[in-house]
Amino acid sequence: MQTVFKNIAGSITPDTAASDELELINRHTIRPLNEDEVFCFTITLCDNEIDRDSEKFTVDALIKLASMFDGKTGITDHNMKSENQTARIFRTWIEESEDELTSTGEKYTCLKARAYMPLTPKNEELVAQIEAGIRKETSISCSVSSMTCSVCSADTRKSGCKHRKGEIYGGKLCYTVLDAPTDAYEWSFVAVPAQPRAGVTKAFEAQEGMTISQMKEKSVGYDSITLSTHAFGKLTEEINRLEALAKDAQLYRNELEQRVIRLAAMSVPSLGEGEFEDICKSLTAAQLSVLEKSFAQSASKLYPVKPQFSGSITHTDSNSEFKI
């Protein structure tokens, strides 16, 4: 087996445990703790992106590590002394992006976890450092039984191969594929990250009754937002309203562009219609309105409107105009 240490980076924020999370936390305690006694946070432990060590986990490895890291302790700099324990993971899960791909073309997938630490005088300094953003990089320690070359699939633990990590061979990047984990030992706060996308994440929970503008204002600086059913409903209503307005605005803009193009063709015949269509697409609706007024004035001067019946009518007693 091969023990690997993966340093990862992220951010952290204080959080409160939900009632259902307290049940999970208290699986690891002797005395049941309440919400005021724990400090909670979310960690991105590792993902399937190639890291700075030119290594990457497979998705299968992440899934297996999820169960292995449940209940694992958090320490500092992989110093495995009992007095160095600071926090413990109480829940893990896998997250898969719907639209984001890794550098290898896979769906971005990561292993996340919820961890807690007791709010004690001993932990006050660590909590303060976490809240200040000083302690936010983390590292995992686990063992894997499969480490293969991405170019030739050779087992790098046994025979190795001629390929060097980070180099390109025949257009293919060489990195080590980590798979078949056998154990997860611990996770640590560290100083130097290797997986920039991972780490302890910063989350904002929208409170009941918040308006959309309040959610936007309060969530600045957070990596993710948790919405209640009520808040999600309000946000959905706002999105639906904005989508309807956007459709009306697009119809108005299309008509405005056509009017401006038509007036431009009358006012500046030397300018091609196609060129002016391109110009219009780069302008705002307000700018198009100004052009419409300007071209309308120019067109009225070049092509003044004349009534069909104009001038004075001359009466005559002679019908000579109709004589042959």
Identity of the amino acid at 8: I
**In the structure encoding, which two tokens stand for residue 125, read together?**
């300094």
The dihedrals phi and psi of 267, each to the nearest 5 degrees, come to -85, -35
Local confidence band at 18 (pLDDT 50, 70, 90 cut-offs): low
Give the mean model confidence (pLDDT) for residues 44-50: 90
Report how far residue 265's alpha carbon sits from residue 276's, in angstroms, rounded to the nearest whole number. Answer: 9
Pairing of strands 176-189, 73-76: parallel
Give the mean model confidence (pLDDT) for residues 54-70: 94
Q: CA dist 120 to 74, 233, 234, 271, 273, Å?
A: 16, 38, 39, 76, 73
Tokens 């699986």, located at residue? 27
Pairing of strands 176-189, 138-149: antiparallel
Angle of helix 273-281 relative to helix 229-267, nearest 10 degrees, comes to: 150
Higher pLDDT, 323 or 168: 168
Q: Is the pLDDT of residue 213 over 70?
A: yes
Structure confidence by residue, pLDDT tens digits, 223-265: 556 666 667 777 788 888 888 999 999 999 889 888 888 888 8
Spatial contact of 18 and 64, defined as CB atoms under 8 Å apart: no
Structure confidence by residue, pLDDT tens digits, 65-81: 999 999 998 887 776 67
In this structure, the number of other CB atoms found within 10 A of the CB of residue 246 comes to: 10
Q: Is the pLDDT of residue 55 over 50?
A: yes
Report how far residue 220's alpha carbon sits from residue 216's, in angstroms, rounded to the nearest whole number. Answer: 7
Concatenating the DSSP letter of every residue in 277-293 gives HHHHHTS-HHHHHHHHH
Q: Is the pLDDT of residue 105 over 80?
A: yes
Tokens 């980070």, located at residue? 166
Q: Quote the DSSP letter at residue 105.
A: S
Q: Quote the DSSP letter at residue 313.
A: P
pLDDT at residue number 64: 95
User: Considering Cα of 75, then 81, then 84, then 86, what sign does the dihedral take?
Assistant: positive
pLDDT at residue number 89: 93
Residues 6+ apart with CB under 8 A from 94: 62, 63, 66, 109, 110, 111, 112
Q: Minimum mean pLDDT among 27-41, 89-103, 266-280: which range?
A: 266-280
Angle of helix 285-302 relative to helix 229-267, nearest 10 degrees, comes to: 20
pLDDT at residue number 9: 44
Q: CA dist 128 to 14, 119, 224, Å?
A: 10, 11, 21
Q: Is the pLDDT of residue 203 over 50?
A: no
| pTM (two decimals) | 0.56
Higher pLDDT, 300 or 115: 115
SS3 151: coil
Higher pLDDT, 9 or 100: 100
Q: Quote the DSSP letter at residue 48.
A: S
Report how far residue 139's alpha carbon sits from residue 44's, in angstroms, rounded to the nearest whole number. Answer: 10
Q: Minimum mean pLDDT among 26-30, 65-69, 118-122, 313-317: which range?
A: 313-317
Class of residue 268 by CB neighbours under 10 A (exposed 0-12, middle 13-18, buried 19+): middle
Q: Is the pLDDT of residue 10 over 50?
A: no
Pairing of strands 203-205, 107-118: unpaired
Give the mean model confidence (pLDDT) for residues 31-55: 87
Identity of the amino acid at 29: T
Residue 109 belongs to what H/E stretch?
A: strand 107-118
Q: Is the pLDDT of residue 283 over 50?
A: yes
Residue 73 belongs to what H/E stretch?
A: strand 73-76
Q: Is the pLDDT of residue 38 over 70?
A: yes
Where exactly are the structural domains of the chain? 2-201, 229-302
pLDDT at residue number 67: 93
Mean pLDDT, rounded, of the chain = 79
Spatial contact of 32 and 26, defined as CB atoms under 8 Å apart: yes
